[in-house]
Amino acid sequence: DTAVSQTPKYLVTQMGNDKSIKCEQNLGHDTMYWYKQDSKKFLKIMFSYNNKELIINETVPNRFSPKSPDKAHLNLHINSLELGDSAVYFCASSQGFLNEKLFFGSGTQLSVL
Amino acid sequence: KQEVTQIPAALSVPEGENLVLNCSFTDSAIYNLQWFRQDPGKGLTSLLLIQSSQREQTSGRLNASLDKSSGRSTLYIAASQPGDSATYLCAVGVTNAGKSTFGDGTTLTVKP
């Protein structure tokens, strides 16, 4: 079974649309993250949740809204998609938030046309 | 603001060579440092995690060292194999709240 799974793997959509990416982890971890990897392969943290509570919000536009219904799930909803949102979005998890080993999903490649 | 740099950006070696990948960071007040491997179109796989109080970690043919005072970490790969071809990223834990800053990565190609 995949430890950290995210869906969809590919997402192609028009500017202005609203879309969601889902993430689930079956590792029993308390902390989950969303990272964005841009076209230059630079990886940057967006959000972090610990036990459903937001602990990191890295000046991401408020068009991006994470939601954690339980500690095994962290979904990312994006409103009014823009061309610059095109990137690969990675979900990750760790046992706790005290800088522990990160486990990543396989990524969602978002293309905004 | 923590900045993480990886040199070289790309490296090509023949199979069997030992090699070293470098990671440098600007702020020595780190909590940990992780080395990851990323294969094309895939997610990241954690290779080694070094806590700030540690100097090195080893796993199989991999050895990672950490020198906080000089702001450097190295990943040593012994007896490289074509299957080691991937992009290697280092990530510095900059707070105790799970925030990590990533380098740009080194793309390694091991030729048979």
The pLDDT tens digits for B44-55 are: 999 999 999 999
B32 touches chain A (CB under 8 A): yes
Is the CB of residue A31 less than 8 Å from the CB of residue B98?
yes
Quote the strand ranges of B2-105, DSSP E: 4-7, 10-14, 19-25, 32-38, 44-51, 56-59, 62-67, 72-77, 86-93, 100-102
> What is the pLDDT tens value at each position of chain B, 112 positions in all?
889 999 999 999 999 999 999 999 999 889 899 999 999 888 899 999 999 999 999 999 999 999 999 999 999 999 999 999 999 999 998 766 668 889 999 999 999 9
**Angle A49-B46-B86 from CA coordinates, rounded to 5°:** 125
A44 touches chain B (CB under 8 A): yes
Q: Which chain A residue shows the shortest CA-CA distance from B106?
A: A41
Q: Do A100 and B44 touch (CB under 8 A)?
A: no
Q: Specify which residues B38 forms β-bridges with.
A: B44, B87
Q: Do A106 and B91 touch (CB under 8 A)?
A: no
Q: Do B98 and A43 touch (CB under 8 A)?
A: no
